[in-house]
């Protein structure tokens, strides 16, 4: 009951003219960014944070704008998967398998609207799940002391690579690198200058936005330059959409699929280190095993093969918001970027968020429901508009992306040093991507570094310097166990999972992070 009344308050906040407009704008931009290969949800949100911030939007409106972008990008990813067999972002990879064959059979419109409905169902279910689950998780999280938090952060890093991560040493390096960057600047506890070498620009530390925009958005520009891929993704010839509305009987046949995939997607979103890509992968594989055991229709344009991964990916992206909001620990790249939004607005995520800023949380959740309806409306009748975007050549698009990133960073910091630092991060991001070092742990390290250290120091202050406090309660032991399993398991399992996912992946390279 309490939850329902909080939600009603949330709707009162979200239903103002400004917030509705921002949600619509976010949905629109998000779908665009999701549709364009090379601009995933993480990049899209990263570029828009500094802009939302320097526009002087308050916490709730900024969050509404940016999470609408996040949801929108998850919808948009499917468009180029279906029409061109190129996933617009990583989670949309599995949608290619049956979406593209459907388009080849002249049923592109049907596939697009079915997957639009599927996205809606997945996201709607996940948002309901968020409403129910997040407050429960908050109750548990309120029992956490500094030691538990320190271990929780460790767990987040340990599991971030997920089950498909092939090289845990590289994930560990990336996390340590990010944490190391976070230490630059004056120490929050004692005020000592650390790693600044008397360089005045470093006294306040390195702004995480600079690192995020550089590592994600600019490194993408370098990848495009390297590959000389300046042409447009689509050709007007391939883009025949055909009849838009699916058969009612087809839709009916997909209902059980939607139910199963919502649950799987949501769970993989909530679990640490799984995220939307794994959500869509698991949904698709399970669906294939359930309804098409002989492999007769899946992969050849079965509508259920389009619905399952789309439901899974959108349910997972809603599910991923649960740990981010309730614990302050994001499990995926894009939720890490959303965490950056909160930190930039001086809001500490985690259980206290629900107590101190209930308006922010519930306004955001209400906005997600509204955004979801907007997205359904945008994505079915207007899908033709978004397919046009695929005709814009990247040789024009990528420079614009770079310039908008520069504008965003310059407008919040007003410093050319920071602009150059961002270029440095862009190059670093390119090199690290070449070396197969994941970028998300770096971002998470920069974001959580100080909070993690503060918790460690608080815990040791409480125990008067006894490191035993880190293994001193049943709760920490459970967290350690999950962290260790999450870190070690992929070393044995990853090859199998990765191979299955690779087998499904089209050869084209796609944006990092989900």
Question: Using DSSP, how many helices (H) and how many strands (E) does the chain show?
Answer: 22, 2
| Torsion on CA atoms 101, 102, 103, 108, rounded to nearest 10 | -160
**221-280 binders of other proteins (CB under 8 A):** 221-222, 224-231
Asked if residue 347 binds other proteins (CB under 8 A), the reply is no
Unique residue bearing structure tokens 């207007």: 382
Shortest Å, Cβ 18 to other proteins:
14
Binding mask 393-412 for other proteins (x = CB under 8 A): xxxx-xxx-xxx-xx--xx-
Binding mask 201-220 for other proteins (x = CB under 8 A): -----------------x--
Asked if residue 419 binds other proteins (CB under 8 A), the reply is yes
Between CA 118 and CA 376 the distance in angstroms is 10
Between CA 181 and CA 136 the distance in angstroms is 34
Between CA 417 and CA 413 the distance in angstroms is 9
Shortest Å, Cβ 251 to other proteins:
40
Shortest Å, Cβ 236 to other proteins:
19
Any idea what the Cα angle at residue 103 is, between residues 514 and 29, rounded to 5°?
40
* 8-state DSSP, 36: S
Handedness of CA 221, 223, 225, 227 (dihedral sign): negative
Q: Which residue stretch of 131-139, 175-183, 363-371, 475-483 sits at the interface with other proteins (rule: CB under 8 A)?
A: 175-183
What count of residues does the chain have? 514
* 8-state DSSP, 218: I
Give the helix/strand (H/E) hosting 366: helix 358-379
Q: Which residues are 232's β-sheet partners?
A: 393
Binding mask 434-473 for other proteins (x = CB under 8 A): xxx---------------xx--xx--xx--xx--------
**Contact criterion met (CB below 8 Å) for 257 and 307:** yes
**Contact criterion met (CB below 8 Å) for 425 and 218:** yes
**37-96 binders of other proteins (CB under 8 A):** 51, 54-55
Task: Decide: helix, strand or coil at residue 187.
Answer: coil
Q: Which residue stretch of 84-92, 187-195, 259-267, 290-298 sits at the interface with other proteins (rule: CB under 8 A)?
A: 187-195
Q: Which residue stretch of 32-40, 132-140, 274-282, 413-421 sits at the interface with other proteins (rule: CB under 8 A)?
A: 413-421
Question: Which of 177, 292, 480, 489 touches other proteins (CB under 8 A)?
Answer: 177
Determine the size of the site formed for other proteins (CB under 8 A).
69
Question: Which of 87, 116, 323, 426 touches other proteins (CB under 8 A)?
Answer: 426
Unique residue bearing structure tokens 């010839």: 237
Asked if residue 416 binds other proteins (CB under 8 A), the reply is yes
Pick the closer one to other proteins by CB: 295 or 399.
399
**476-495 binders of other proteins (CB under 8 A):** none
Q: Which two tokens stand for residue 82?
A: 């279906």
Instruction: Return the number of other C-beta atoms located less than 10 Å from residue 415's C-beta.
Output: 14
| CA atoms within 13 A of residue 488's CA, in its CB half-sphere | 6
**Contact criterion met (CB below 8 Å) for 112 and 81:** no
Shortest Å, Cβ 500 to other proteins:
19
Question: Which of 1, 4, 17, 191 touches other proteins (CB under 8 A)?
Answer: 191
Shortest Å, Cβ 316 to other proteins:
28
Return residues touching other proteins (CB under 8 A): 51, 54-55, 166-167, 169-170, 172-173, 175-177, 179-180, 183, 187, 189-195, 197, 218, 221-222, 224-231, 393-396, 398-400, 402-404, 406-407, 410-411, 414, 416, 419-420, 422-423, 426-427, 430, 434-436, 452-453, 456-457, 460-461, 464-465
């Amino acid at each position: 009951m309490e939850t329902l009344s909080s939600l009603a308050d949330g709707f009162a906040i979200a239903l103002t003219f400004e917030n509705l407009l921002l949600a619509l704008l976010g949905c629109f931009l998000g779908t665009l960014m999701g549709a364009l290969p090379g601009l995933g949800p993480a990049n899209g949100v990263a570029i828009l944070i500094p802009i939302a911030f320097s526009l002087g939007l308050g916490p709730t409106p900024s969050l509404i704008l940016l999470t609408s972008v996040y949801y929108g990008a998850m919808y948009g990813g499917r468009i180029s998967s279906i029409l061109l067999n190129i996933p617009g972002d990583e989670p949309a990879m599995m949608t290619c398998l049956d979406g593209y064959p459907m388009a080849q059979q002249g049923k592109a419109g049907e596939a697009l609207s079915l997957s639009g409905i599927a996205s809606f169902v997945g996201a709607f279910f996940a948002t309901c799940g968020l409403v129910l689950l997040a407050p429960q998780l908050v109750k548990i999280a309120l029992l956490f002391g500094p030691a538990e938090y320190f271990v929780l952060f460790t767990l987040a890093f340990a599991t971030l690579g997920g089950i498909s991560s092939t090289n845990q040493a590289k994930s560990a390096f990336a996390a340590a690198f990010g944490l190391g960057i976070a230490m630059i600047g004056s120490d929050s506890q004692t005020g000592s200058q650390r790693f600044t070498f008397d360089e005045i620009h470093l006294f306040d530390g390195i702004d995480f936005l600079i690192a995020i925009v550089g590592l994600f958005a600019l490194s993408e520009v370098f990848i495009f330059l390297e590959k000389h891929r300046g042409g447009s993704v689509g050709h007007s010839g391939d883009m025949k959409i055909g009849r838009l509305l699916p058969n009612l009987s087809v839709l009916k046949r997909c209902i059980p699929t939607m139910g199963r995939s919502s649950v799987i997607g949501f769970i993989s979103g909530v679990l640490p280190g799984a995220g939307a890509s794994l959500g869509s992968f698991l949904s698709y594989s399970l669906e294939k095993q359930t309804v098409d055991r002989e492999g007769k229709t899946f992969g050849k344009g079965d509508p259920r093969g389009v619905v399952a991964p789309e439901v899974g990916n959108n349910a997972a992206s809603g599910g991923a918001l649960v740990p981010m909001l309730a614990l302050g620990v994001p499990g995926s790249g894009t939720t890490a970027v959303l965490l950056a939004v909160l930190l930039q607005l001086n809001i500490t995520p985690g259980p206290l968020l629900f107590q101190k800023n209930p308006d922010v949380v519930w306004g955001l959740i209400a906005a997600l429901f509204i955004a979801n309806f907007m997205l359904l409306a945008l994505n079915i009748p207007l899908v033709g508009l978004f397919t046009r975007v695929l005709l814009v050549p990247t040789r024009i698009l990528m420079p614009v992306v770079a310039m908008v990133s520069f504008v965003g960073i310059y407008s919040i910091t007003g410093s050319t040093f920071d602009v150059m630092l961002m270029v440095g991060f862009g190059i670093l991001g390119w090199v690290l991507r070449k070396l197969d070092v994941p970028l998300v742990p770096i971002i998470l390290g920069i974001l959580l570094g100080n909070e993690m250290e503060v918790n460690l120091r608080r815990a040791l202050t409480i125990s008067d310097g006894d490191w035993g406090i880190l293994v001193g309660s049943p709760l920490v032991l459970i967290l350690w166990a999950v962290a260790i399993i999450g870190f070690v398991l992929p070393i044995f399992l990853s090859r199998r999972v990765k191979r299955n996912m690779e087998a499904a992946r089209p050869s084209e390279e796609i944006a990092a992070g989900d």
